[in-house]
Structure 1
């Protein structure tokens, strides 16, 4: 394999926003769709498991040896904007804050909410990430993917994708997201859009531990309830296991205060789930994807 796009025994902690991770047997950051396709083909030919990550937010990787190939899409970051039509074409590795700011500067409305989410476009579509009831599913036209088994490149229309709260059908199929085509409302007030985007980021930094190592939200909000409130009700704000702490700013955030291990974080997630289930009869379902754990994603 081409060593320029490929490394062995790579520590993954710097590729996750919570700054925890094991060692990948093989690791690559493709700079083009061709390189990505080659890597998936290599994994198939060598009977290696291939796992795709984006910005590593909403991701807990166990502190163990991760067999197979881990591919990070962050260098796939082509972004084309048509200001008059409101159509954009963006590769999977485009960061949501970059997308949000670019939309505002081009007078396109509808992406202001995404400025404070430290994830990639591909990850956001895969997870159906969002804030409140806002997500990119509303703006999506189509997604280009690679079939991981056949290596065929396909275009999937929005109508053929199942989106639910923090879920997309990409979590259940064997497809890798390459890029997406989206539509945002053109001819917006430039000054107002830029200010709204700035205000949204300011609100995030004031109410969430934005500048500390974390996943973002740990748990999905149960129907007609809020995970943060349920955790607050248990008196768990500020509770620590090792270097992992439930944020005092926002209870649905776990922060890595000082060299937390993946096991510290995993135990803390489990303690929260057990306490809320025992006292409220509600099972908190993690938003966080887990690699290297015996946990159903």
Structure 2
């Protein structure tokens, strides 16, 4: 197992922000991960996967962090569109693999810079109005809870929009999942991917590091006003004037700025009696 010392965490997130960590662990198999968690159960507090929904304090030195990018990269086609996919597999690789074998369904996730494990944890999907999520194709999910392997049937995952029961399970790490995908022609899959990438190119602001969508639940009128007013310092952390609900990390941005923006927008929602739930996970201390 690879262990890195004094590692900068900013390079492991799409927002490119974070302090250093004294020790960062990179297990390379499920058994290595299981042994590590048994020995160091507190490691489940700080886990990095694809890093696309993570805001890390840039003034903090963390003790130990677990990186789950390499421990389970398996993709196994069992039969008739049923696949077992490891939590470390990148979404793009998973999608291309099933597409090349005549199956599809989650092409809308091709633009997401994340891993299968994180997508399950967040129940990644399209916008709320589309009612399409990765959980539509899940049969069961394998997880480590306190170092013990458990299989969780789909119905016990309590999936909803950008939510799952795994988010509230203590000391839980997703290992992989059994999926069942429908048949789909390669040309249809390719068209869906192209449409998704074209839409992202047109709509998404990639001028600076970002999380992707910041809030999974918010008031569209408040967020439209945030977009219009271009809230935040342009050279620091600020909300995009191109993409609604989208924070950018400018060259002089700081954790203090980012967290202040998040909290202020939550406060506005509370004052107006509106619901607001962040998709971004925050490491403060």
Question: Which runs of 5 or more residues in structure 2 are unaligned?
Answer: none
Displacement of 1:51 in angstroms is 2.0
**Residue 273 in structure 1 maps to residue 261 in structure 2:** no
**Residue 28 in structure 1 maps to residue 20 in structure 2:** no
1:21 aligned counterpart, secondary structure = coil
Number of equivalences: 280
Partners of 1:191 and 1:235 in 2: how far apart? Answer: 36
Partners of 1:100 and 1:70 in 2: how far apart? Answer: 28
Displacement of 1:56 in angstroms is 0.6
Q: Which residue of 2 aligns with 1:288?
A: 280
**Residues 288, 48 of structure 1: CA spacing in aligned structure 2 closer, same or farther, 3 A cutoff?**
closer
| Contact 1:8/1:26 (8 A) holds in 2 | yes
1:135-154: per-residue Cα shift (whole Å, max 9, x none)?
11110011111122xx2212
| Contact 1:5/1:28 (8 A) holds in 2 | yes
| Within-5 A mapping of 1:135-214 | 135-148=133-146, 151-174=147-170, 175-186=172-183, 188-210=184-206, 212-214=208-210
Q: Which residue of 2 aligns with 1:96?
A: 91
| TM-score, scaled relative to structure 2 | 0.89
Q: Which runs of at least 4 in structure 1 moved beyond 6 Å after TM superposition?
A: none
1:163 aligned counterpart, secondary structure = coil
Partners of 1:91 and 1:80 in 2: how far apart? Answer: 6
**Residues 237, 37 of structure 1: CA spacing in aligned structure 2 closer, same or farther, 3 A cutoff?**
farther
Q: Which residue of 1 aligns with 2:11?
A: 14
Partners of 1:48 and 1:79 in 2: how far apart? Answer: 23
2:217 aligned counterpart, secondary structure = coil
RMSD value, Cα? 2.2
| Within-5 A mapping of 1:224-239 | 225-226=219-220, 229-234=221-226, 236-239=228-231
Correspondence for 1:78 among 69, 73, 77? 73
Displacement of 1:7 in angstroms is 2.1
Displacement of 1:200 in angstroms is 0.9
Partners of 1:240 and 1:161 in 2: how far apart? Answer: 37
**Residues 48, 95 of structure 1: CA spacing in aligned structure 2 closer, same or farther, 3 A cutoff?**
closer
Partners of 1:113 and 1:77 in 2: how far apart? Answer: 23
